[in-house]
Chain A
Amino acid sequence: MMNDRQGRTHKSLARRTADSVGNHIVEVLENEDLAAEKGFLQGIDPRSKLLAVLIFSVTASLVRSPWVLAAMSILALVLASFSAVSPASFARKVWGSAGLFATLIALPAATQFITAGSVLFRLGPVAITRPGALGAITLILRVVASAGFALLIVWTMRWIDLLSALSRMKVPDIIVATLAMAQKQIVSLMRTVEQIHLARESRTLKESTTAENRRWVIERIAFVFQKSVKTADDVYDAMLARGYSGSMRVIHRTPATVRDWSYVVFSAGIAALLIAIDRMVMR
């Protein structure tokens, strides 16, 4: 914490960055813990789960009725609740983050300045039009439904299982291996960045100027790049020491069962039903 010239206490730039990076590290660890819990989606094969989420994400982009989109948001919440995700966490992340951002984006577009049409109600000189309001509600619900399904992957699939699923879905091994190493590299670099900023905070007595702070941050980015190159060399040497000969192999888990494929078929059926209802409602 720092005091400015008026004596007010506030967080320094270093502290804010360290906190933000620290929160990201905690998020990664919490997501991995959540994905290891016993729940409905945690018990489904990663490949089936990924396919089902893709089906629902594409469906959310195809339907046009706000009612169907609202039903999809509730479906994502129900799936999360059966998968050890607390409804409060789900609502905070999906509605509080993605939903709020979409609302801020969509609201000005509901006015007569952006979307013409019959006036629904007036707020002083600003009129909310019917097509504008419908467009805003559709966008918000679509973003919320999509974010809900996307977060189901983050919360119910361990990173290693996701890599295994990608490999079994014929994504080239070079990409899967790079994703695996990049994730480890990111977590390691996040720790480095957090420590760099905490060290700066701990030895700072007087607040630096904007120019000094900027110079310091840019030099640290250059340092992180140097450290990354060094780490890559070390990793490559370690790979060679373990017999790396140019080809990669990703270890698979147990094969998908009837239950896993039933889940995909069930998801595809629900998606088809939702699209059919949407077509009837919007006819």
Chain B
Amino acid sequence: MHIPDGYLGPQTYMILDVAMIPIWAVAVSKVKKTLKARQIPLMALAAGFAFIIMMFNIPVIGGSTGHAVGATLIAILLGPWAATISVSIALAIQALLFGDGGITALGANCFNMAVVMPFVGYYLYRLLAGNSENLRRKITASGIASYVAIVAAATVAGVEFGIQPLIAHTASGAPLYAPYPLKVAVLAMFSEHALFFGWVEAIVTMGVVAALAKQESALLDMKPARRSLRWAWAGFSVLVLLTPLGVLAQGTAWGEWSVGQLASRLKLSVPTGLSKLSGLWAAAVPGYAPAFIKNPFVGYLFSAVIGAALCVGVVWGVGKLVASRKTDDER
């Protein structure tokens, strides 16, 4: 996921370089407050750990190996702000000491791997693990969180690559930086990480959380005292309230066409099997537009609330189930 120099244009890397300055300033201030006087050696150790974790070859399947980034793991162990600093420092050392990863692209790499990844991972972990002391639930939560976090960070990197042909090309249409369009770049980054690197990240995070819990459980509680998740919930609610903006978008998302739309795009008749299977499941609320709500904005918002409530409910239910099974085992 390391972006070298040359793949991103100045319109992208300069924005991300500048955006990282206040993020680093807030991170330093937060870590100073929470980790107190020991912050420098602790941040240095976390940076060293963030660097070294990428050097371990993890056997996956059939002789193939991959390596983990470890940002979610560090966020779980030390908190997300400490992870932002430590992963940023590891990336800076990789760029300046080994020439690995770009100098102008340092802000973009830090944004993807030191901001998106630890924050998505940490807050998803908190949401799934809750305040439970149940180890199995914590391990499962760490695996899911690290998987989602690396896929999210890779998707953001895919967007950064994919917008390059849109914002910078010659009059003849030759791309000046990363050449692949949005749909190809996002799909490539997403699928590569969803199919392979996400599993490596999840295996490593779950394994290390389990090993530390067994050998020295105090290390799992080094991060600053937990704060209420009310800000995360507030942000989540704002996103739900903003969903009616989706109605303003023109056309259909790439690859999500109906059978009729697909036929018109292909200018061919749709295969029989595809036509038959497309009617296999009748959605309760097709097109996010409930039949009993006439206003499309209200209908979209209603669908968002129901969908979000169902997702949270399923995750909460699975978490409870895992926790109760563990309690039974312990009995």
Question: Taking beta carbons and an 8 Å cutoff, which residues of A are in contact with B?
Answer: 13, 16-17, 20-21, 24, 27-28, 31, 53-54, 57-58, 60-62, 64, 93, 98, 101-102, 106, 109-110, 114-117, 130-132, 134-136, 138-139, 142-147, 150-151, 153-154, 159, 162, 172, 174-175, 177-179, 181-183, 185-186, 188-190, 193, 210, 213-215, 217-222, 224-226, 228-229, 231-233, 235-236, 239, 246, 248, 282
Contacts and interface: CB of A to CB of B under 8 A. Distances in A.
Q: Please indicate which of the listed interface residues A62, A134, A218 has the most CB atoms of chain B within 10 Å of its own CB.
A: A218
A217 B179 CA distance: 37
Given A53-B103, A61-B6, A222-B215, A178 B43 contact: yes
Contacts of B211: 218-219, 221-222
A143 B60 CA distance: 31
B286 interface: no
B9 interface: yes
Contacts of B181: 114
Given A175-B28, A214-B203, A136 B53 contact: no
Interface string B1-21: 000111111100100000000
A20 B55 contact: yes
B97 interface: yes
Contacts of B222: 229
A58 B175 CA distance: 18
Contacts, number: 248
A134 B98 contact: no
B216 interface: yes
A151 B89 CA distance: 18
B23 interface: no
Contact of B40 (A64, A132, A136, A248): A248
Interface in B195-237: 203-204, 207-208, 211-212, 215-216, 219, 222
B47 A182 contact: yes
B173 A185 contact: no
A213 B44 CA distance: 29
Contacts of B125: none
B61 interface: yes
B179 A221 contact: no
B41 A236 contact: yes
B316 to A, nearest CB: 29
Contacts of A93: 99
B190 interface: no
B102 to A, nearest CB: 7
Interface of B is mostly: helix
B245 interface: no
Contacts of A21: 55
Interface string B49-60: 101110111111
Contacts of B104: 57-58, 61, 146
A144 B102 CA distance: 12
B49 A114 contact: no
The 10 A-B pairs with the shortest beta carbon distances in the complex, nearest first, are A218-B207, A185-B48, A146-B5, A181-B44, A109-B179, A222-B211, A143-B6, A182-B47, A131-B174, A134-B174
11 contacts: A114-B180, A139-B6, A146-B5, A154-B99, A172-B28, A182-B90, A182-B93, A190-B55, A210-B63, A221-B204, A233-B41
Q: Please indicate which of the listed interface residues B32, B59, B95 has the most CB atoms of chain A within 10 Å of its own CB.
A: B59
Contacts of B98: 24, 27-28, 154
A200 B211 CA distance: 19
Given A61-B13, A139-B7, 5 more contacts: A146-B102, A150-B5, A183-B93, A226-B219, A235-B41
Contacts of A58: 10, 104
Contacts of B179: 106, 109-110, 114-115, 132, 135-136, 139
A109 B188 CA distance: 13
B331 interface: no
Contacts of A182: 43-44, 47-48, 51, 86, 89-90, 93
Contacts of B65: 13
A60 B48 CA distance: 31
Interface in B269-315: none
Contact of A109 (B8, B175, B215): B175
Nearest to A179: B89
B188 to A, nearest CB: 10
A38 B161 CA distance: 40
Contacts of B207: 214-215, 218-219, 221-222
A150 B59 contact: no
Given A16-B57, A222-B211, A150 B99 contact: yes
